Amino acid sequence: MKRVVFLLSVLAAVSALAAGSVDIVKVTQNWPWDNRVIIEYILSGDEGTSYDLDLSVESPRGPVKYKANALSDELCNKVPGTYRLTWNPDGRYDSDLDAAAVGLKFTLTCREAGVPGKYMVIDIADSENYSVEYLADVPAGGWTDAHKKSKMVFRRIRPGYFMMGSPADEPGHLDSRKSSFLGLDRQGEARHPVLLTNEYWIAICPATYAQICYIDRRAKHDGARNARAGGTIDYWINNYQLMDPARSLNWVRLVGADNITSWPTSTDVGSESIIGQMRSRLEGKGTPQGLVFAMPTQAQWEYACRAGTETAWNNGTDCMTNSVGVDANLDLLGIYQPLGGAAAISGNVCTREPNAWGLYDCHGLVGEVVYGRGAQDNVSTLEVEPTGGGCTWEMFCAIRGGWWQYCWAVHCRSAAKIHSNQAENVGKTAENSTPKYHSVRFAFIRPRSGNQWR
C-alpha cells in the first residue's frame, strides 16, 4: 500500500444534540509505524442515556468515504465517558488519499440513540401479547434456548460502505452466472463497492422451527403435511426438532403468493403470510421506528455477514479449497457437506462461532432466502442501497450462506450466491413445493413503496 503521511491540522469538533456533547481531546497518527489514526474523545451527557456517534473525515479534496472495518468501534449506544477510537485508512472506500494532503479534519457528532441497545429481543410465546426489550450487549450467560424458541434476537446494524462480492483470486469466485459449479447453479459475484444508507436490524441466526410455529399459528393448527421436512407442523413443535433451523421456507410462505412479484417495488406482504402475521402482532410494541419486519436484501445480508471482513469467511480467514473436501476454517463457523447430513444440523443453531457483530450460522447450516435475485454480473461501480431485483414465478431468487448438504466450502462463502427456484412445481401447495434446504434470517428494514425506500 502507498504510505501516506497525514498532517492532522483541524482536529476537534463538538456536537450538542439531545443534551449530549462530544469533545475530541487528542488525535495522533501512528506514523511511521503505520497509517492508523488514534482519536481520544470525551462523551458528555445525561446519566443513563446512550448516544450514537458519527465520525466524518475530510481531506483537502473533500469527504473521505470509509468502510465499516475502518473503525475499531461501532460508535453506537455509547454512554458518557472517555474513549479511544482507531481509524484505519486501509479501510477506505476511496482508492487512495492525496499524498500531498496537508491536513485531515476529523469531526465527531453525537445524538441520543434512537434505541437503547445493540440487541432487540422479541418474546413471541403469546400471540396476543408480543413484547420487545433492548439489551446493551449479549447477556452474561449468553443466549439461552428460549432465545431460539419462544423469542427472537436481532442485532442493530448501522449504515456503511463495504466491498460486495469476492476478489478474482478467491477460491470459488465467479464473475458471472454458471449453471453448474460443483453441482449447484451459481450467480456471479464480481467485487464492487456498496453503500448502505439505512440502518437495519437482522436476526442473529436463521429462524428455528419453534419460532416459525409460534409465528405461523395457522400452519401449526391446519395439520398440513410438509412432505420435504418429514412431518406436520404439530410434530415439529412437540418434538426434539424444535431447535432445528426451519427449512422448506420460500417466498410464497414468507410474503404470500399474491405478493411474490411485488419486490422491489414494495415491501407489501399478505396478511396470512409468515411475515404478515408477525407484522400485525408487532404493531405498537416498540420495534425500531420507521422499519418493517421483513427479509434482508442481498447487500444487507452480506454486509451483516461480513461484519467488516473482506475474506471468504467472516472470522477473517480464507477459503482453503476450490473443490470438494474439508475446510478447517469453515469447520469453526458452520455445518456443510463434509460434516454430515440432516442429523448434523439437529439442535445446532448458534453453536458455532459468531462473527464480530454477534451473528451466527452465516456459513453453512441452512440456505437463507433474501430479497432479490442479485443476478447483476460484472458490476464494478458503486451501488447505493441495491435491491437486487425482483422475484417472480418464472425467476430464480438468491440463497445466501450455503447449507449442510450438497454444499461444499466454496458454496458457503460470504460472497457466494446460489440460484434457487422459489416456486418449484407451480400449482402445488406451499408446504410441498418449497426447496428442502431453505430457511430465512429475518430483519427489520426500511419499507419500500413506489419502487423507493421510505
pLDDT at 338 over 70: yes
pLDDT at 315 over 70: yes
pTM: 0.85
- Determine the straight-line distance between the first and last CA of the chain, rounded to whole angstroms: 40
pLDDT at residue 229, as a whole number: 40
* Domain range annotation of the chain: 14-112, 119-453
Q: Grid cell 483541524 — which residue?
A: 10
Show the 3-state SS of the chain. CCCCCCCCCCCCCEEEECCEEEEEEEEEECCCCCCCEEEEEEEECCCCCCEEEEEEEEECCEEECEEHHHECCCCCCECCEEEEEEECHHHECCCCCCCCCCCCEEEEEEEECCCCCCEEEEECCCCCCCEEEEECCCCCCCCCCHHHHCEEEEEEECCEEEEECECCCCCCCCCCCEEEECCEEECCCECEEEEECCCEEEECCCCEHHHHHHHCHHHHHHCCEECCCCEEHHHHHCCHHHHCECCCCCHHHHHCHHHCCCCCCCCCCCCCCHHHHHHHHHCCCCCCCCCEEECCEHHHHHHHHHCCCCCCCCCCCCCCCCCCCCCHHHHCCCCCHHHCCHHHHCCCCCCCCCCCCCCCCCCCCCEEECECCCCCCCCCCCEECCCCCCCCCCCEEEEECCCCCCCCHHHHCCCCEEEEECCCCECECHHHHCCCCEEECCEEECCEECCEEC
Q: Grid cell 454458471 — which residue?
A: 178
Question: Residue 2: which pLDDT band, with cuts at 50, 70 and 90?
Answer: very low
pLDDT at residue 3, as a whole number: 41
pLDDT at 153 over 70: yes
Instruction: Report the pLDDT averaged over residues 360-384.
Output: 80
Question: Residue 6: which pLDDT band, with cuts at 50, 70 and 90?
Answer: very low
pLDDT at 303 over 90: yes
pLDDT at residue 176, as a whole number: 67
pLDDT at residue 382, as a whole number: 85
> Residues 87-121: pLDDT tens digits?
887 765 554 454 434 578 889 998 888 777 899 99
> Residues 8-34: pLDDT tens digits?
543 444 444 446 788 888 888 876 667
CATH 3.90.1580.10, domain 119-453, yes or no: yes
Question: Residue 228: which pLDDT band, with cuts at 50, 70 and 90?
Answer: very low
> Residues 33-91: pLDDT tens digits?
677 889 999 999 888 888 999 898 888 878 887 777 788 888 888 889 999 999 887 76
Question: Residue 217: which pLDDT band, with cuts at 50, 70 and 90?
Answer: low
